[in-house]
């Protein structure tokens, strides 16, 4: 579901600043990720906890009447299964929810999907735009920055199934030493042990029998 970052910042700040005040602040100049981090860093340090959660999701701000360019382009909308013309933004939301502190959600970072390269589809003879870097790569690179450079305290990363690639899971678990929660397609294959992996004994997730509260290791 799409949301307004300006509204979320206003909510987090307990409405000390109105939506219009925040909009004017961001409109003063072009802010990059580093500048945005410097603005929110003091608030993050107040709110963060070791068991915090980073939620990764993307949204499309539809721009049906704007001329197509590197940023305003056609993107596949996973929620509707249709191509939508607009601005595709990958969001990184910090969520804290514990018995000892109020529940808080704060926009940590964002990545605007750019499609600067053009090619002609031989089947339709129409010009199509393409990104030079995939959204999954954008996600991995930004999580590394949040963890290693910004040193945000968190334990989990949550994301939907279109970000549940093997590369993303391995990077989060093996490089960042964090845990993840995600949905995966029923036809994804897994090996339930090292032996199964070595012998090529993979099975579809949909065929694995799970019991309530049961934990199963998969490779």
Q: Are residues 173 and 78 in the same domain?
A: yes
Q: Are residues 197 and 103 in the same domain?
A: no
Where residue 175 falls among pLDDT bands split at 50, 70, 90? very high
Q: Are residues 130 and 153 in the same domain?
A: yes
Q: Are residues 219 and 171 in the same domain?
A: no
Q: Are residues 162 and 215 in the same domain?
A: no
Asked if residue 145 belongs to a domain, the reply is yes
Q: What is the pTM of this model?
A: 0.79
Neighbours of 91 (CB within 10 A): 18
What total of structural domains would you count in the chain?
Answer: 2
* pLDDT (average), residues 18-35: 70
User: For position 1, what pLDDT does the model report?
Assistant: 44
Neighbours of 172 (CB within 10 A): 24
Q: Are residues 200 and 102 in the same domain?
A: no
User: For position 80, what pLDDT does the model report?
Assistant: 86
Asked if residue 18 belongs to a domain, the reply is no
Model pLDDT for residues 79-136, shown as the tens digit of each residue? 888 999 999 999 999 998 877 777 888 999 999 999 999 888 888 888 889 999 999 9
Where residue 30 falls among pLDDT bands split at 50, 70, 90? low
Domain range for 198: 185-219
Q: Are residues 120 and 201 in the same domain?
A: no
Helix (H, G, I), strand (E, B) or coil at 85: strand
Where residue 173 falls among pLDDT bands split at 50, 70, 90? very high
- Is residue 163 exposed (0-12), middle (13-18) or buried (19+ Cβ within 10 Å)? buried
Is the pLDDT at 165 greater than 70? The verdict is yes
User: For position 190, what pLDDT does the model report?
Assistant: 84
């Amino acid at each position: 579901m799409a949301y307004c970052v300006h509204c979320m910042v206003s909510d987090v700040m307990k409405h000390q600043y109105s939506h219009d005040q925040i909009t004017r602040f961001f409109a003063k100049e072009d802010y990059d990720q580093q500048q945005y981090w410097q603005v929110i860093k003091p608030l993050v340090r107040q709110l963060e906890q070791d068991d915090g959660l980073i939620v990764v999701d993307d949204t499309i701000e539809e721009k049906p009447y704007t001329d197509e360019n590197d940023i305003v382009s056609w993107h596949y909308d996973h929620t509707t299964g249709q191509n939508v013309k607009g601005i595709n933004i990958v969001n990184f939301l910090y969520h804290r929810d514990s018995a000892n502190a109020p529940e808080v959600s704060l926009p940590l970072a964002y990545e605007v999907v750019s499609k600067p390269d053009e090619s002609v589809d031989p089947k339709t003879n129409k010009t199509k735009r393409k990104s030079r870097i995939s959204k999954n790569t954008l996600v991995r690179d930004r999580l590394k920055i949040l963890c290693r450079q910004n040193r945000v305290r968190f334990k989990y990363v949550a994301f939907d199934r279109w970000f549940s690639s093997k590369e993303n899971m391995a990077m989060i678990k093996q490089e960042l030493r964090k845990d993840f929660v995600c949905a995966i397609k029923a036809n994804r294959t897994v090996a339930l042990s090292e032996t199964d992996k070595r012998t090529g004994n993979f099975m579809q997730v949909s065929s694995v029998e799970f019991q309530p509260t049961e934990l199963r290791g998969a490779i």
